[in-house]
Amino acid sequence: MASFVDLFAGIGGFHFAFKELECVFASEIEQNAQKTYLLNHPNTPLFGDITQKEVQDKIPAKFDILCGGFPCQAFSIAGLRKGFDDSRGILFFEIANIVKKHMPKVIFLENVKNLKSHNKGQTFLTIQTSLEKLGYYVFSEVLNSSTHANIPQNRERIFIVAFNKNKVKNYNDFSFPKPIKLTKTIKDCLEHSKQDDKFYYNNKSQYYKQLKKEILKKDTIYQLRRIYVRENKSNLCPTLTANMGTGGHNVPLILDDFGIRKLTPRECFNFQGYDNTLKLPNIAFSKLYMQAGNSITLPLVKRIAKQILKVL
């Protein structure tokens, strides 16, 4: 059976995508994400900070696939776009060091689409060149969850798949999945019963008057953007962000039969393509929102994983 390691593992999206394979090592620094990961993948050897030598030393000598949604804040529009000047940007080089030591057959990485254009393309070129120098052939593409995963969320991400040319002779057989028709709608991801009162806005909220005036349709998603409300007219959920649970800014809002409310954490995971078999621990909702915003869109990663396994 092929094996993989799961770096910057979050709640284990890559693990779900490769669930037929053996996960021999996982690393995630954030303790609440670790709780969600272990609840869903209880038998995985999960460790903390991958920058620590003692953690890297626990990676088995041999494995086939290295997965990682390495931290993207350094390259994101939402961040300051400092890239490699930000310590989070340098985490790519931790991946490169692990690759150099273990030389897996495949590297499978995910990041924000801005990684491609950051610093006039120099950041991405550095990443690509680093992998090529180690003997890998690099494929990359920006794909959207709404066009490639049948998920009604506007979420563009860059995916990097690199094959070890010495170990995978037919690497040129790889191709990213083609677009598929979007048949799911926002309603497919929403709960239709009354949700807990804490998700609803009432006249005690400073935003209530403004929301009541502007949120009038039940078949769309709105966003509260600090000082104004934006309707998403594309019939897609806007890109879910890691900070959507930390106050008014960026929270997706809907009008249901019972009032104006925020999406629940479970609905946010629905918009990432997880079904109800995903177990959520009893932790602060702000942490669950963060985990959903940081996660991969599962059906899209599954489609890419299938293409990788076809080549292997």
| Cα gap 311→156, rounded to integer Å | 25
Q: How confident is the model at residue 70 (pLDDT cuts 50, 70, 90)?
A: confident
Strand pairing report for 136-144 and 156-164: antiparallel
- How many angstroms separate the CA atoms of 161 and 287, rounded? 29
Which amino acid makes up residue 140? Answer: S
Average of per-residue pLDDT across 263-282: 97
pLDDT, residue 75, reads 47
Cβ-proximal residues to 155 (8 Å cutoff; 6+ apart), any chain? 144, 145, 146, 239, 240, 297
pLDDT at residue 264 above 60?
A: yes
Active site residues: 72
Average pLDDT score over the chain? 90
Q: Report H helices in the chain.
A: 13-17, 31-40, 53-56, 91-102, 114-117, 122-133, 145-148, 186-189, 208-214, 265-270, 285-294, 298-311
**Domains and their CATH numbers in the chain:** 3-181+292-311 (3.40.50.150), 186-278 (3.90.120)
- Look up residue 67 and give its two tokens: 């997965």
More confident residue, 84 or 25: 25
Per-residue pLDDT at 72: 55
Tokens 């962000």 identify what position?
Answer: 241
pLDDT at 262 over 90: yes
% of the chain residues with pLDDT over 70: 92
- Dist. CA 164–CA 108, nearest whole Å: 12
Count CB-CB contacts under 10 A for residue 151. 25
The structure tokens listed for 116 are 């491609």
pLDDT one-digit tens code per residue, 12-57? 999 999 999 999 999 999 999 999 999 999 999 999 999 999 999 9
CB 68 within 8 A of CB 127: no
Better pLDDT: 83 or 286: 286
**pLDDT of 304 above 80:** yes
Q: What is the DSSP string of 203-232?
A: TTSTTHHHHHHH---SSSEEEEETTEEEEE
The structure tokens listed for 288 are: 């669950």
Residue 92: which pLDDT band, with cuts at 50, 70 and 90? confident
Residue 302 reports pLDDT greater than 70: yes
Query: What predicted TM-score, i.e. pTM, was given to this entire model?
Result: 0.92
